[in-house]
Structure 1
Amino acid sequence: MPAALAPRLWPGHLLALVLVLAAGLLGLWQLDAWQARRADEARDLTRAEPVSLGSVMGPDDPFPGRSVGQPVTLEGAWVPAGTIFVSGREHDGRDGYWMVTPLAVGGAGEPALPVVLGWVASTGDAPAPPAGDAELVGWLQPTEGTGAVDDDPGDDVLPQLRVADLAQRVDEDLYSAYAVAQEGVGGLPAADLEQLPDAGRFTAVRNLLYAVEWWFFGAFAVLIWWRWLGEQLAPRRAEPQPEDEEHPDTVTT
């Protein structure tokens, strides 16, 4: 029997095997979560049948990651005082703006959802903000967070469509999302779908890093086991024996 398989070493082998298997399985679990999230984000819901906004999310709910691009039916009252423009948006190769007005879902005074009405070449060419009640279908989108800095916080032009920035301009509570009207409101050209932001992938990347981390732990366990085994199999040095002391004869005078 090889020396490495001696019964006295079995507990160490078993512990190392359990640690490596656990790290490997946990890494595979995180890898599967990463792949599943990527698959969810790759789903194209833009051609799905519209559903009511309430069946997807409530006013206090975080954005449901699986519903990016989901067409939703919206009914409510416009909040024209909250109209803003988002710069850096293209349409037919031309640079311009998105025109955005919140819609109080369910009626005046209710929580509002920002709605991209359409595209304008300049803020001066924009029509008057819509008012009154409305019914429309829009693609649901997560709030943007590009980190762009607003050079002029006092105007109605924003560099990104971030709900937190809009919340400072309206009295109504806001959903943690916005919608892009499928058909332009007030005669505006509809916003191009290619301008819609991708779903964030931070969670997916975190799952992938967790998988790598678990596999690193497994490799570290193998390294520790290998060093331990080498120490156990190394020839043991014989302990030095004390030398006999020589006692000189005692001379009596």
Structure 2
Amino acid sequence: MTGAPGFRPWAPRWWPGHLLVLVLLGVAVFLGAWQFDVGQDERDSAARDLTRSDPVALTSVLGPDDPFPGDRVGQPVTVAGTWVPDATVYVSRDAGYWVVTPLTVDGSDAALPVVRGVSDTPDAEPVSGTAEVAGWLQPTEGTGAVDDDPADDVLPQLRVADLVQRVDQDLFSGYVVATEPTAGLAAATLEQLPEAGRLTGARNFFYALEWWIFGAFAVFVWVRYLLDVRQDRARAAGSVGSEA
């Protein structure tokens, strides 16, 4: 911006404008970061608050043909049914493998995937017969991870579409992480649960984005103004030179 004769963008006459833009940018960055943090806190709070609520019957919040209710992520539920034999899979996790066995829910022909616990290896004692399970309700995952070996029982994510091929009945649109593991397994702790729904805290994220865009726009307008001033002075200097 120093190409125009007599134009110095760092001259004292421009300092108030520079300062104003810096203040606006700082406020926008601060408020954007604050809104972003509020959104993150809302997501964390949504998951924590539901997991601490009283358990309810699974069928009161999710039916066999229902889409997963987005406001029920982490809801404690109770369910009774019969284990589906030879349908156990192992979902890879940072802390070992989730041991997942479908449970045919009493009163329906559909099965609910149940995370029975965590194993260090993709191997666990089989279960059979009837059971009553209490756990946290979760939506099936869709991380996009690729299964390197579709022929084995190890999955990169817990997704209904991957489990449908292994059972002869319909599956619920969610799964349950058991609060009490079956014999020989470690409990799946709260830290191992998936995060709250994707839309939780989305409004605060968009507010944050708006503030950051506002800050960038303020900088753009000021820089554009200075460029216009430089161009006007360059034209004026060129006109004077041509007349001379």
- Which TM-score applies when normalising by structure 2? 0.63
Aligned residue number for residue 127 of structure 1: 125
Structure (1 or 2) with the larger CA radius of gyration: 1
Distance between the aligned counterparts of 2:100 and 2:44, measured in 1?
30
Distance between the aligned counterparts of 2:44 and 2:118, measured in 1?
31
Paired residues for 1:68-107 under 5 Å? 68-90=73-95, 96-106=96-106
Alpha-carbon offset, residue 210 of structure 1: 9.4
Q: Which runs of 5+ in 1 are unaligned?
A: 1-30, 91-95, 217-253
Q: Contact 1:77 / 1:105 at 8 angstroms: preserved in 2?
A: yes
Aligned residue number for residue 177 of structure 1: 174
Shifted more, 179-188 versus 37-46: the winner is 37-46
Q: Aligned-pair RMSD on alpha carbons?
A: 3.0
Q: Which runs of 5+ in 2 are unaligned?
A: 1-34, 214-244
- Which TM-score applies when normalising by structure 1? 0.61
Aligned residue number for residue 157 of structure 2: 160
Percent identity between the two aligned chains: 63
Distance between the aligned counterparts of 2:94 and 2:44, measured in 1?
27
Distance between the aligned counterparts of 1:163 and 1:206, measured in 2?
29
Q: Contact 2:73 / 2:197 at 8 angstroms: preserved in 1?
A: no
Using CA pairs under 8 Å that are at least 6 residues apart, name the structure with larger relative contact order, 1 or 2. 2
Q: Contact 1:69 / 1:139 at 8 angstroms: preserved in 2?
A: yes
Q: What is the identity, as a one-letter code, of the residue corresponding to 1:82?
A: A
Distance between the aligned counterparts of 1:114 and 1:84, measured in 2?
10
Distance between the aligned counterparts of 1:181 and 1:83, measured in 2?
15
Distance between the aligned counterparts of 1:202 and 1:39, measured in 2?
13
Q: Contact 1:67 / 1:140 at 8 angstroms: preserved in 2?
A: yes
**Alpha-carbon spacing, 1:154–1:141, altered in 2? closer, same or farther (3 Å):** same
**Alpha-carbon spacing, 1:204–1:62, altered in 2? closer, same or farther (3 Å):** farther
Alpha-carbon offset, residue 205 of structure 1: 3.4
Give yes or no for the alignment of 1:200 onto 2:197: yes
Query: In the TM superposition, what whole-angstrom CA distance separates every residue of 1:133-158 from its partner, at most 9, and x where no partner exists?
Result: 11121111111111111000010000
How many pairs align? 179
